[in-house]
Amino acid sequence: MYDVCVIGSGWAGINAAITAVNNKLSVCLIEKNTLGGTCLNYGCIPTKSLVASAAHLYAANHSTEFGIDLKEIKLNFTKVLERKNKVVSRLHLGLEGLIKTKKIYLINGEAKIINKNQISVGKDIIEVKNIVIATGSRPRQLSNLKFDSKHILSSTDMLNLDKLPENILVIGGGVIGCEFAGVFSQMGSKVTISEILERILITEDREASKKMEIAFKKQGVKILTKTDFATLNLDEFDKVLLCVGRAVNSENLGLEAAGIATDKGKIVVDKNLMTNIDSIYAAGDCIGGYQLAHVAAYEGKITVENILGKNKEPDYSAVPNCIFTHPEIASVGLSEAAAGEKGYNTKIAKFNFLALGMAHVKGEPEGFVKLLVNSENEQILGATIFGIGATELIAILALAIRNNLDVTALSETIFPHPSLSESIAETVHNFHAN
C-alpha cells in the first residue's frame, strides 16, 4: 500500500509527489499521457521556447541600432520547432531522471478512483492511504466552434505546425491568445485578434492593456474588440486559433461513483484542498481557480503537507501573473477595482521606463511600474509592470506583498545600478516625493 498516490504528472502532481518522497512517504504517480503534463509538453515550456526564438529574431532585426550589421536575417521555422522540441525533450529526460532518483513509482495508464483506498489502472488495483488528484486542464472549445487540428486549432495544435502560416485569426484576446499573436506576428505571419470584450487582456491593468494594444498595432497585429467571431469569415484565414479558456480534466476518473463532489466539472475542495472524501485531495487546474503552473506547483506541495497533518491553507494574496508578449506584462496582488471592493483607500505610485537608464541601454524604453498602495499604512497591495523584464521583476513585488512590506521597506533597499530592478526603487521614491 502506498502512502500517497498522485493522479497526473503536471506541475501540481510532480510537486506533490516530490514533496511526499522528501517527507519519507511512499509514492505512486499515475500518468495516462506524457510525463510533465501540459506545462512541460504543451504549454509553458514549448510556448516560451517560441517566444525566445521570436525575441532573437526581433533582436537581429534591430541589431543595427546597436552598431551591428547583419548581412541577412531569415527565419528558419523548421529549426525553431526543432529547438522547441529539443528543449522539451531535455527537460523531459531530466524529469524522468528525477522520478527515478526519488524512487517515485511511475505508472503509465488511466486511473479510476474506486474508493478512498483503491485506484484501478487497467486490470490492476492499487492500494493507497491518500490520493492527490492533479489531472490538469485542456484547451476549451465552443459548441459552435470545435477543434479540427487542421483549420481550427487549439494552443496545443499551434505548437505542432509544420510551416509558418501566412494569415492567422486568434479568437480570444486573453493571455494565451496574445502570446501566440505576438510570437507569430514577429515571425512574419499576418495576425488578427478577435475579442468579444471591450479590450484585450481584460483582467489586467487598463493602462497596460491599452499599451499592449498600441504595441501590437505597431507590430502589424490587427485587433478587433467588441467582435463576435461569428461575424467574421473564418475561411479568409489560413489558421484559426481558438483561445477561450481551458476546461478541467475530470472525466473518466470515477469521481461520481466514488462520491467525490464536483461543480460544473471542477473538483470541489475545502480550504485545505481536501475533497469531500477524507484522504482525497486535489490541486492545480482541475479545481479551477488560478490556472497557472506556479500555483499548481504550490497547491501540489500543500496537499501533501496537509496529508502530513499541517492543516495548511493556500495563500493567494501574491500570485504573479505573467504575459510573455513584447513588451511583457506582469501583475501581482490586488487591482484598483478589487482594492476598492475591499474598502481600501489607495494611492498610486508610478515610474516610467523612459527615465530608466538600463531600459535605454537595452533599447526598450517603453514601459512602467505601477504600485497600488494602502493610503493608511503605505502597505503595497498590488503591482503592474509593463515592459522589458516585467516577468522577472514581478517576483520582487510578489515577495513584498506576500510579506506585507510597505513602500519604506523597498525605498530603504539598495538596488543595483544600472539595472531594470531600479525601476521598482524609483517607483517608491516617486511615491514619497508626491
Per-residue pLDDT of 251-288, as tens digits, reads: 999 999 999 999 999 999 999 999 999 999 999 999 99
Its pTM stands at 0.96
pLDDT confidence tier of residue 397, bands split at 50, 70 and 90: very high
Q: Which three cell numbers stand for residue 33?
A: 499521457
The three-state secondary structure class of 32 is coil
Mean pLDDT along residues 84-99: 97
**Pairing mode, strands 124-133 and 280-282:** parallel
- Name the catalytic one among 92, 417, 429, 432: 417
Q: Over the chain, what is the mean pLDDT?
A: 96
**Regarding the domain delimited by 321-433, which CATH topology (the fold level of the hierarchy) does it fall under?**
Enolase-like; domain 1 (3.30.390)
What pLDDT shows up at residue 151? Answer: 98
Identify any residues that bridge with 330 across adjacent strands, giving them in sequence order.
322, 385
Name the CATH topology of 152-244: FAD/NAD(P)-binding domain (3.50.50)
pLDDT digits (tens, 9 = 90+) for 182-225: 999 999 999 999 999 999 999 999 999 999 999 999 999 999 99
Q: Kindly indicate the confidence band of residue 433, based on its pLDDT and cuts at 50, 70 and 90.
A: confident
Residue 142 phi/psi, 5° resolution? -110, 160
**pLDDT at residue 71 tops 90:** no
* Region of residue 426 (phi > 0: left; psi between -120 and 50: alpha; otherwise: beta): alpha
Is the pLDDT at 325 greater than 90? The verdict is yes
What's the CATH superfamily of 2-138+247-307?
FAD/NAD(P)-binding domain (3.50.50.60)
> Does position 152 have pLDDT exceeding 90, yes or no?
yes
Contact between residue 381 and residue 401 where contact means Cβ atoms under 8 Å apart: yes
Whether the predicted pLDDT of 297 surpasses 80: yes
Asked if 402 and 396 count as a contact pair (C-beta separation under 8 A), the reply is: no
In contact, 152 and 240? CB cutoff 8 Å: yes
Domains 152-244 and 321-433 share a fold: no
Sign of CA dihedral 430, 380, 358, 47: negative
Where does 37-189 show beta strands of DSSP type E? 105-108, 111-115, 118-121, 124-133, 137-139, 152-153, 167-171
Q: Is 151 a catalytic residue?
A: no
pLDDT at 45 over 90: yes
Q: How far apart are CA 337 and CA 343, in angstroms?
A: 10
- Give the total residue count for the chain: 434
Q: Say if residue 337's pLDDT is above 90.
A: no
Q: Where are the domains of the chain?
A: 2-138+247-307, 152-244, 321-433
Query: Are the C-beta atoms of residues 429 and 368 closer than 8 Å to each other?
Result: no
Cα separation, 42 vs 156, in Å, equals 5
First CA to last CA across the chain, in angstroms?
63
How far apart, in Å, are the Cα atoms of 347 and each of 131, 245, 421, 423?
46, 33, 21, 18
Across the range 385-397, mean pLDDT stands at 98
Pairing of strands 118-121, 124-133: antiparallel
